Amino acid sequence: MIDVDDGSRGLMAWRLAILRSCLLLAFMALLIVIYFSSPQTVLTRCATVYRLIESNAWLIVALYIGRLAILLPAGVLALLTGMLYGTFWGEVIAVAGLTLTGTVEFIVMRAVIPARYRLGAAGEGAGFGRLMKKSPFQAVLMMRICFLPFDMVNAAAAWGKVPIRPFFAASVLGLIPGSLPLVMFGASITLDTWLSSGSVWPASSISWPQLLISVVLSAGLFLGARILRKRGESAS
């Protein structure tokens, strides 16, 4: 582990404070836009975006690549992909898109973060620090499966000096179980029916059995992830 002096820690703290302030301001701006718009107006805007993405498939790829620039969480994007393309193709596109955006973020962070900030025990807080040094593929795979925040795994792998090949391969495999419940949840909502109904609440557009399956699957995977995480912590 590389020691970081007080000055470097102070600089990192300031950068984090600035980033959090920007995220808070962006969130407040989003709330203002939604608050001063009627539900029907918000739904109409969503329908416009949906039609645009539906007729221009390359936009979903652009959303995955540029999601950080527009503060779009990875989970929301996976859910949206399920709405647009259904369970099977939605899962394929979600895993491919998340792997792509995660790899881009990983490469950028590894390139721009000074070497002294790249702590060898970057994943130690999550119990995967030593495993990351010993087996980078297994560490990234475990972090993906254990439902750790998507961007945090990318950052931990960049700080932990994980090679790009095991990062990419582990991301492809590890994102499958994590994204599937979200994609199924999105696919349970028939977006065409919802948008054409004019109703804000999509009750009549939801496939409740599929929604229930996604919730049960998510709960099962979450419990399994907690068990794996505890084993990872004890192993490290």
User: What would the pLDDT profile of 125-161 be if each residue is shown by its tens digit?
Assistant: 445 667 788 889 999 998 898 888 898 899 889 888 8
Instruction: Return the closest-CA partner of residue 136 out of 103, 99, 119, 161.
Output: 161
Phi, psi of 102 (to 5 degrees): -65, -40
Q: For 175-227, what is each residue's pLDDT tens digit?
A: 999 899 999 998 998 877 776 666 666 667 788 898 899 999 988 988 888 78
Question: Is the overall model pTM greater than 0.75, yes or no?
Answer: no
Is 90 exceeded by the pLDDT of residue 87? Answer: yes
pLDDT of residue 122: 45
* Amino acid 20: pLDDT: 57
pLDDT at 133: 80
When comparing pLDDT for 164 and 31, which is higher?
A: 164
pLDDT at 70: 72
Query: Is residue 116 predicted with pLDDT exceeding 70?
Result: no
Position 4 scores a pLDDT of 43
Residue 21 has a pLDDT of 64
Cα–Cα distance list, 164 to 138, 154, 170, 175 (Å): 13, 11, 10, 16
Pair 117, 155: CB distance under 8 Å? no
Q: pLDDT above 90 covers what percent of the chain? A: 25
Which of helix, strand or coil describes residue 229?
A: helix
